[in-house]
Every structure is written in structure tokens, then in C-alpha cells.
Amino acid sequence: MNKQIVQHITTKYQEQFNAKPILSFAPGRINIIGEHTDYNDGFALPAAIDKGIFAALSITENNLCTVTSLDLEESFQFQLTNLNSIKNGGWKNYVIGVVAEIQKTGKKLSNFNLMISGDIPQGSGLSSSAALENSIVNGLNELLDLKLSKEKMILISQKAEHNYVGVQCGIMDQYASMFGVKGTALLLDCRDLNSTPISIQLHDHSLLLVNSNIQHSLAESAYNNRRKVCEKISKILGIKSLRDANEEQVIKLIDSMNSEDVLKALYVVQENQRVKKAVELLKENNLPELGQLLYQTHKGLKDQYQVSCEELDFLVDFTKNQDSVLGARMMGGGFGGCTLNLIRKDSINQFKNNISKAYLQAFQKECSFYLVHASDGVKIITNNT
């Protein structure tokens, strides 16, 4: 845990609000495989990481709530009795959304002050958004003794994003951030929200993220459109969601439908199969084949689902000539953000040098790196954590 942030946010909170806050932490997440499957009731293999967002909170006697993002150096206020999303409100709508969705469950809130700060890059596919939502709902749950279960809290976070931010996200991000278990990835069934922890034993390999530093904007991107395409095809097939489709069923549609849409649906069906295969490979410790699966997923996201971009393709293609990398793929919603790389530990520095030079030359842009470890989900920070 980032002790510096804990210290900094506690000090700043005292300065602004003259009170001692409780601290809630929610991590971001990686996803080993299973991209764009969650809103299709499918499977994914995410893990919480050791980076995330801290929310500091205390009750106030004021008749409104004040919220500050230390990272964005912005503050705003709202009244609990008058909660609406703000036009072009950006991060504020995540906060308003969580508070409003808690109220919709019938829970009574009292006025509070909130400060947030984190060490997770925003808009990079590590789900700073779910970390933000979960840190707030978990913090309010503790502060006001709301007695919300973790299952309820992730649905509140997801609905905040749907109804107040406008991103029709699946549940994977909120789930992984809430339920993460150290040293494991969660084989998540997004239909019934059950998960099985799968131990990640990479031995002489690590998971390294390379950030393209191209920030995606999911709300404005084609994310909601992809979801619509999937729903349309499910309807045509007469099934609840693409989770229930098989390859033959989808391929048959090719004569009667827009072939780009059919390819997208086919991607989802194949990606669900890859998740199950990846779990077997992890159990057998077959990292080379797992790496190949990551490349297959990238190809599917690029050519079939069409959510990659030039920079991400470059970062993935570059690894194919690096002996130390077993596999790589873009991770998250797409159109920017990070690639996930399965890389031999002893070559990380060399690899970083090689890929940064090449990326700089190709795009006149720096890439950045994060070594990530599967970690526990949300927590309340006490003096002895």
C-alpha cells in the first residue's frame, strides 16, 4: 500500500476539513484474459492490483457535502436532497452517481466531506473509475454503518457509471476491485457473479504493463456501441446474451447480416473459450501457451472487435521479436491505455529500454511501465494496516 498517499491525504484532509477521516482503499485491476465479455454475461480472469484510490471521509454538521480530488486539484459541493449528474462533470459524476445510487437502495445518508487521491493512471485500462466508485461506496458504508454487502456495493458502483457517467460498463472492474484475493486471479462468471480464485504462479515471469499514454475516453468511445451490437445479435439468435451462443450459430449469420457485426459477436464467443483455456494453462503452468492466447486475444480485439489503436498494436507487435516476452495484448476497454505483457523477469530492464526507444521513435511519445501484483480487494485502512 502506498503509505505516502495515506500520509498526504490524511494531512490534507485535516487542513481542509479540520477533522480526522476514516480511510477506504479500493484497488484498480488487471485482466489476464476475457475482454469485453463481462457485459455479455461471459467469463473473465481479472485480479486486483497494488495500486488504487484512497477515499478519506468524515461526517459534517454542514448542510451540504464537499468533495475534493487531490489529484485533479478540484473541489465541488452538493446537497443530498438534490442529486443530478452535471453536464461535462467528468469525475464529479462518479461521486454523485455513487451517492445517488446508495440513496436509491433506501439507505439514509448524512452530510459528509470526502477527499480522494490515488496512484493509478486514469483512463489507462486499469479501472481507476471502478476504484474511485468502490472506494467511495465502501467508505460511506463504513462511515455511516450502512450495512451494504459487497455484492450490493459493486452494483451501486456499476449503476453510478451507467446512470450518472453514461458508460454502460459490465461488472468485471467493480467485482475485481471489491473481491480481489492476493496472489490470484478470479475466474469470474459474469452471469451469476460467482468467482473462483486461480493461483497465479508465474515463477521466473512477471506481468508488466506498458502504458501507451494514449488516454481513452470510454464514454465518448465506441464502448456503448459495441454493447449494442452484442445485444442486437443476441436478440436475432433468440438468446439472452452472447454467453449462450456458439461459433456455428454466429457464423451462420454472415450471409444475412453486416459482417463486421458478426465478427464482433464471434470474437466474444471465442474470447469466452479462451478464458477457460487460460485457466487450464495456468493450472498446468504452461506459460508459453498462455502467452499465445494473449496474442490471439489481441488479434481478436484488433481485427474482429475493432477496439485497438495504432499505438497499442505497435506495442504488442514489438514484443513478437523479443524472446523474453511470451505474450502480450491490449487490456481494458480499448482505444488506448495499457498492454499486458507476460515477460521473463531477468529481461525486464532490457525490454523496457528497447520498447521505449522504439515507441518514441514511432510516435514521438513516451510509454510508461508498471509491474503489477495480484492483490487484495477493497479495505478500510486502520492504524495497523
**Tally of CB atoms within 10 A around 182:** 13
Nearer to ligand ADP, 53 or 342 (CB): 53
In the set 129, 168, 234, 304, which binds Mg ion (CB under 5 A)? 129
- Interacting partner of 132 out of ligand ADP, Mg ion, none (Cβ under 5 to 8 A depending on kind): ligand ADP
Contact between 189 and ligand ADP by CB under 6 A: the answer reads: no
The sheet with strand 368-371 has its strands ordered as 325-330, 338-344, 205-211, 368-371
Contact between 53 and ligand ADP by CB under 6 A: the answer reads: yes
Q: Which of 64-72, 181-189, 309-317, 349-357 is the region at the interface with ligand ADP (rule: CB under 6 A)? A: 64-72
In the set 6, 60, 71, 162, which binds ligand ADP (CB under 6 A)? 71
Contact between 93 and Mg ion by CB under 5 A: the answer reads: no
3-state secondary structure the chain: CCHHHHHHHHHHHHHHHCCCCEEEEEEEEEECCCCCCHHHCCEECEEEEEEEEEEEEEECCCCCEEEEECCCCEEEEECCCCCCCCCCCCHHHHHHHHHHHHHHCCCCCCCEEEEEEECCCCCCCCCHHHHHHHHHHHHHHHHCCCCCCHHHHHHHHHHHHHHHHCCCCCCHHHHHHHHCCCCEEEEEECCCCEEEEEECCCCCEEEEEEECCCCCCCCCCCHHHHHHHHHHHHHHHCCCCHHHCCHHHHHHHHHCCCHHHHHHHHHHHHHHHHHHHHHHHHHHCCHHHHHHHHHHHHHHHHHHCCCCCHHHHHHHHHHCCCCCEEEEEECCCCCCCEEEEEEEHHHHHHHHHHHHHHHHHHHCCCCEEEECCCECCCEEECCCC
Q: What are phi and psi of 274, to 5 degrees?
A: -65, -35
Contact between 91 and ligand ADP by CB under 6 A: the answer reads: yes
Query: CA 225, 230, 233: angle at the middle one, nearest 5?
Result: 125
In the set 125, 139, 180, 336, which binds ligand ADP (CB under 6 A)? 125
Active-site residues, by number, are 173
- Interacting partner of 301 out of Mg ion, ligand ADP, none (Cβ under 5 to 8 A depending on kind): none
Nearer to ligand ADP, 102 or 132 (CB): 132
In the set 122, 273, 347, 368, which binds ligand ADP (CB under 6 A)? 122
CA distance 161 to 95: 10
Q: How many residues bind ligand ADP (CB under 6 A)?
A: 20
Nearer to ligand ADP, 91 or 305 (CB): 91
Contact between 69 and ligand ADP by CB under 6 A: the answer reads: yes
In the set 65, 67, 96, 116, which binds ligand ADP (CB under 6 A)? 116
Q: Which of 88-96, 183-191, 275-283, 298-306 is the region at the interface with ligand ADP (rule: CB under 6 A)? A: 88-96
Contact between 90 and ligand ADP by CB under 6 A: the answer reads: yes
- Interacting partner of 342 out of Mg ion, ligand ADP, none (Cβ under 5 to 8 A depending on kind): none
In the set 31, 40, 124, 341, which binds ligand ADP (CB under 6 A)? 124
Nearer to ligand ADP, 21 or 125 (CB): 125
Contact between 170 and ligand ADP by CB under 6 A: the answer reads: no
CA distance 53 to 130: 9
Q: Which of 66-74, 78-86, 146-154, 320-328 is the region at the interface with ligand ADP (rule: CB under 6 A)? A: 66-74
Contact between 128 and ligand ADP by CB under 6 A: the answer reads: yes
Nearer to ligand ADP, 176 or 245 (CB): 176
Measured in whole angstroms, the distance separating CA 55 from the mean position of its chain's CA atoms is 18
Q: How many residues bind Mg ion (CB under 5 A)?
A: 2
* C-alpha cell belonging to residue 182: 492476493
Contact between 52 and ligand ADP by CB under 6 A: the answer reads: no
Q: Which of 122-130, 182-190, 192-200, 304-312 is the region at the interface with Mg ion (rule: CB under 5 A)? A: 122-130
Contact between 123 and ligand ADP by CB under 6 A: the answer reads: yes
Binding site for ligand ADP (CB under 6 A): 53, 69, 71-72, 90-91, 94, 116, 118, 122-129, 132, 218, 332
Binding site for Mg ion (CB under 5 A): 127, 129
